Amino acid sequence: MRRFVPMVFLLAACGGGDAAPRADLVLRGATVYTGEGDGAAQAIAVREGRIVWVGAEADAEAWIDAGTEVRDLTGRVIYPGFVDAHAHFGGIGQRELTLNLEGTDTKDAFLTRLEEAVARTPKGEWVTGRGWIETFWDPPVFPTRHDLDRIAPDHPVLLTRADGHASIANSAALRLAGVTGATPAPPGGAINLDVDGEPTGMLIDRAQALVRRHVPETSTAQLERAMELASERSVRLGWTQVHDMHGSWDEVAMMRRLYDQDRIKVRLYKTISGPGEQADSLIALGPQPPEFDDRFELRAIKIVVDGALGSRGAALLDPYSDDPATLGLITTDTVAVKAMLRAALRGGIQVAGHAIGDRANRLLLDLYGDALAAVPTAERAIAEPRWRNEHSQIVQPADLPRFAELGVIASMQPSHAIGDLHFVPSRIGLDRTAGAYAWHSLLELGVPVAGGSDAPVERGEPMIEFYAAVARKDLQGRDGPGWHPEERVTREQALAMFTRYPAFAAFAEDRAGTIAVGKRADFTILDRDIMVIPEPEILQATNVMTVIGGRIVYDATSGSP
């Protein structure tokens, strides 16, 4: 499968003969990290969306003629295009479209952002948003409806916590929904009450629906706008591809429409949610050939085996240390999954399974192992199915080698660790942190670790993820017992987590993932060298240009330095 690259290399190398080599785009004057473990390069030539040359500044001139766009990137650093291997694209867009509360590190900042949204919304209309996390606030307590009422007495307000498992509603919203102190909470949900027995406004898990169903439905035009905003945000931050970790055929149709209209610029590796009819129809169709110039690909199913750790929904083998009555939840129909996995192997469809708790991780590995044993290679559409474990979060150390044995890719989100580890030791006990967020152990075992952000659950910024992977400290530089600093990775490993391994996880290592002749011209260009600067400074690194398929889709190089 590597034949393609050397062939194009030969063509490029021969170009110096009678026909002068010419590039559509030349980037020069930069520091180039190719991700191929090589020496220094300063310049890249691109033709028809592919890399045709990478080398020394002095040799760049040969690729330039009157039709070549030349960009001098002196002082900037070029990396292979960063990929977010686990995110929720529509959710990122929704967060942009409504009120984006990510990064509101104080309650005042949170309320100020609400105030701005209220000011631009006509009275009586809903203000909705997502992204706050009270654990950063001082004190770290949930907001109340009274906090919101002071700012929004005349607008119904519903603001969802970053993880999606809780929302705060103001009094106007509770009134519209008819939620009072006497309202029974639905199964799987809670309506938090104050000392007087009145709702605080906090709605947990399934209780959120009591208010959310009164929020006007998002129109198709708004959903399309959300995806457009998600694309704009992604390329601004330097993501060149997003692996979108859930989905329906309706969404696929919408994305195809938006690519057609050039409203989505970032590459998407799309999944369909399973098990069920929607997933079955993808299996029946088989892997879809790359569409829209390789920017959209559909060949994978997403399943969700358990809940999340924050709400004690992650399935554990032994009870929660801070709630001995709880083991968490298996959230999928394992009988249906079993049948689906076998069909997926026969149909050549990749499966990406969400597993957070150690029981869920073991179950997913068992399910994958059973299917791989039941369907021999000769009966598979693709010999190497590259199934993925999304999160691989709390794993029994004994189960870690099974990733390598089964050929399972670990798809992990470093930001989860540096947020969660503040509460994980009390939730599961120090012992069980031994196989938690174990990126380095998995890499040592030879497991490809594809890095992602899980945005909008996390903020979804490449520099936060890269920093978390190498520092394994929170954004303020703190860590603590159970953080396992030995699970930090080197900068080279972190770069691979966001470039080379996601390419492998998308069957694209021959076309993407490093800067090499013949590969896609996808680049993330930063204002500083994250391979050498001090750790805390990584968080200050800024994307200044994003190139996808040789096209500059984001450019801040002409602005202020």
Task: Indicate the residue among 163 and 522 with the shorter CB distance to Zn ion.
Answer: 163
Using CB under 5 A as the binding rule, the residues of this chain from 484 to 503 that contact Zn ion are: none
**C-alpha to C-alpha distance for 92 and 152, rounded to whole angstroms:** 25
Stretch that binds Zn ion, among 266-274, 277-285, 447-455, 510-518 (CB under 5 A): 447-455
Task: Indicate the residue among 31 and 453 with the shorter CB distance to Zn ion.
Answer: 453
Phi, psi (degrees; rounded to nearest 5) at 28: -145, 165
Task: Indicate the residue among 15 and 452 with the shorter CB distance to Zn ion.
Answer: 452
Number of helices (H), then strands (E), belonging to the chain: the values are 19, 23
**C-alpha to C-alpha distance for 357 and 395, rounded to whole angstroms:** 7
Closest by CA position to 78, among listed 112, 35, 31, 17: 31
Question: What's the min distance (Å) between Cβ of 374 and Zn ion?
Answer: 28
Stretch that binds Zn ion, among 270-278, 319-327, 450-458, 516-524 (CB under 5 A): 450-458
Question: What's the min distance (Å) between Cβ of 455 and Zn ion?
Answer: 9
Task: Indicate the residue among 273 and 396 with the shorter CB distance to Zn ion.
Answer: 273
Question: What's the min distance (Å) between Cβ of 243 and Zn ion?
Answer: 10
Contact call for residue 84 and Zn ion (CB under 5 A): no
Task: Indicate the residue among 205 and 509 with the shorter CB distance to Zn ion.
Answer: 205
Q: CB within 8 A of 225, min separation 6: which ones?
A: 93, 97
Q: CB within 8 A of 551, min separation 6: which ones?
A: 49, 265
Phi, psi (degrees; rounded to nearest 5) at 560: -65, 145
Question: What's the min distance (Å) between Cβ of 67 and Zn ion?
Answer: 44
Stretch that binds Zn ion, among 67-75, 183-191, 376-384, 454-462 (CB under 5 A): 454-462
Question: What's the min distance (Å) between Cβ of 131 and Zn ion?
Answer: 15
Question: What's the min distance (Å) between Cβ of 6 and Zn ion?
Answer: 38
Task: Indicate the residue among 100 and 453 with the shorter CB distance to Zn ion.
Answer: 453
Stretch that binds Zn ion, among 217-225, 258-266, 444-452, 453-461 (CB under 5 A): 453-461
Task: Indicate the residue among 245 and 316 with the shorter CB distance to Zn ion.
Answer: 245
Instruction: Output the DSSP codes for 361-416.
Output: HHHHHHHHHHHHHHS-GGG-SSS----EEE---B--GGGHHHHHHHTPEEEE-HHH
Mapped onto helix, strand or coil, the DSSP state of residue 272 is strand
Pairing of strands 43-47, 50-55: antiparallel
C-alpha distances (whole Å) from 179 to each of 124, 152, 192, 201 are 18, 18, 11, 9
**Max CA-CA distance within the chain?**
87
Task: Indicate the residue among 117 and 242 with the shorter CB distance to Zn ion.
Answer: 242
Site string (403-442) toward Zn ion, x via CB under 5 A:
----------------------------------------
Number of residues that bind Zn ion (CB under 5 A): 2
**C-alpha to C-alpha distance for 115 and 118, rounded to whole angstroms:** 5
Question: What's the min distance (Å) between Cβ of 439 and Zn ion?
Answer: 17
Are 236 and 546 within 8 A, CB to CB? yes
Using CB under 5 A as the binding rule, the residues of this chain from 237 to 256 that contact Zn ion are: 245
Task: Indicate the residue among 86 and 440 with the shorter CB distance to Zn ion.
Answer: 86
Closest by CA position to 459, among listed 398, 494, 415, 420: 415
Contact call for residue 163 and Zn ion (CB under 5 A): no
Hey, what are 26's tokens?
Answer: 């030349």
**C-alpha to C-alpha distance for 180 and 184, rounded to whole angstroms:** 9
Pairing of strands 82-87, 239-244: parallel
Closest by CA position to 192, among listed 203, 184, 183, 182: 203
Question: What's the min distance (Å) between Cβ of 454 and Zn ion?
Answer: 4
Site string (309-348) toward Zn ion, x via CB under 5 A:
----------------------------------------
Q: How many CB atoms lie within 10 A of CB 376?
A: 9
Question: What's the min distance (Å) between Cβ of 264 and Zn ion?
Answer: 20
Half-sphere exposure of 65 (CA within 13 A, CB side): 8
Task: Indicate the residue among 201 and 451 with the shorter CB distance to Zn ion.
Answer: 451
Phi, psi (degrees; rounded to nearest 5) at 267: -75, 145
Task: Indicate the residue among 155 and 270 with the shorter CB distance to Zn ion.
Answer: 270
Are 368 and 302 within 8 A, CB to CB? no
Stretch that binds Zn ion, among 446-454, 483-491, 535-543, 545-553 (CB under 5 A): 446-454
Task: Indicate the residue among 424 and 553 with the shorter CB distance to Zn ion.
Answer: 424
Q: Which residue has the tokens 């199964």?
A: 187
Q: CB within 8 A of 236, min separation 6: which ones?
A: 543, 546, 554
User: Within its chain, how far is the Cα of 121 from the centroid?
Assistant: 30
Contact call for residue 454 and Zn ion (CB under 5 A): yes
Angle between helices 277-285 and 334-347 (to 10 degrees): 10
Residue at shortest CB range from Zn ion: 454
Task: Indicate the residue among 274 and 550 with the shorter CB distance to Zn ion.
Answer: 274
Question: What's the min distance (Å) between Cβ of 452 and Zn ion?
Answer: 8
Site string (192-231) toward Zn ion, x via CB under 5 A:
----------------------------------------
Question: What's the min distance (Å) between Cβ of 314 and Zn ion?
Answer: 13
Question: What's the min distance (Å) between Cβ of 459 and Zn ion?
Answer: 14
Question: What's the min distance (Å) between Cβ of 128 and Zn ion?
Answer: 20
**List of residues contacting Zn ion (CB under 5 A):** 245, 454
